[in-house]
Structure formats: structure tokens, C-alpha cells
């Protein structure tokens, strides 16, 4: 199932704006460092932790801590389940945009 094209499915967990951006950053990379994600999203550590925890609880993300050179770093990875859910959510947003487009054009015309 994970190798198949995801069906368009609206996912309210992913749809939250910060989590949507977070998944978008993670889908394009094998892994992303916590500090890099925090800086790119422009949010506090505590906010990023909260969003990662919500995604991790759903099975969409894993977070791995690595220690070296006297300090630890955390890395986030989008799981296959998370990638499938994100792609399905994006497909649903695209479907909704296609449905709305003719109506918007008719309303303006």
C-alpha cells in the first residue's frame, strides 16, 4: 500500500499550518536537524517539539537523538506512513483547488 499513489484524503492533523510546512520540509529530505527545522519555520523549540510530538504520536514522524562532541542533536524523519498521509493530504488540497477554480472564474467573470 505504501508504494501506491495515495488517495486524496484531508488530514486535519497535517493541515495545521505549522505541521503542513513541517511535513513539506521533511518530505523533501531523508532527515532534518531539529535546529534547522526550528530556524526555517521561525518558531520556538517548545513549539516545534509540540508539533513533532503530535506527528510522532500519529506515526508520521520519528525523532532520533544523536550524541557526539559533548552535545546531542535531534533529527526528524518523515515515516512511510507520514509521507503517504502528507501526499494524500496534498492531493486532496489539489482536488479541492480544481473543484473551486471554475467557480472562482465564473464568479469573477
Domain that holds residue 69: 12-101
Report the domain count for the chain.
1
In a domain, 5, yes or no: no
Q: Decide if 94 is inside a domain.
A: yes
| Residue-level pLDDT, tens digit, the chain, 109 residues | 445 667 899 999 999 999 999 999 999 999 999 999 999 999 999 999 999 999 999 999 999 998 877 788 999 999 999 999 999 999 999 999 988 876 555 555 5
Domain membership flag for residue 107: no
Judge whether 65 lies within some domain.
yes
CATH code of the domain in which 54 resides: 1.10.10.10
Residue 68 placed within a domain: yes
In a domain, 53, yes or no: yes
3-state secondary structure 46-59: HHHHHHHHHHHHCC
Q: Which helix (H) or strand (E) holds 76?
A: strand 71-78
pTM of structure: 0.84
Amino acid at each position: 500500500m505504501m508504494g501506491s499513489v495515495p488517495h486524496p484524503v484531508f488530514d486535519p492533523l497535517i493541515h495545521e499550518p505549522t505541521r503542513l510546512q513541517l511535513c513539506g520540509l521533511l518530505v523533501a529530505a531523508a532527515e532534518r536537524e531539529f535546529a534547522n527545522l526550528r530556524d526555517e519555520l521561525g518558531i520556538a523549540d517548545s513549539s516545534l517539539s509540540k508539533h513533532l510530538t503530535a506527528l510522532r504520536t500519529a506515526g508520521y514522524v520519528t525523532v532520533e537523538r544523536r550524541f557526539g562532541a559533548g552535545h546531542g542533536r535531534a533529527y526528524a524523519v518523515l515515516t512511510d506512513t507520514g509521507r503517504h498521509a502528507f501526499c494524500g493530504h496534498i492531493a486532496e488540497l489539489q482536488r479541492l483547488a480544481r473543484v473551486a477554480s471554475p467557480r472562482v472564474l465564473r464568479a469573477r467573470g
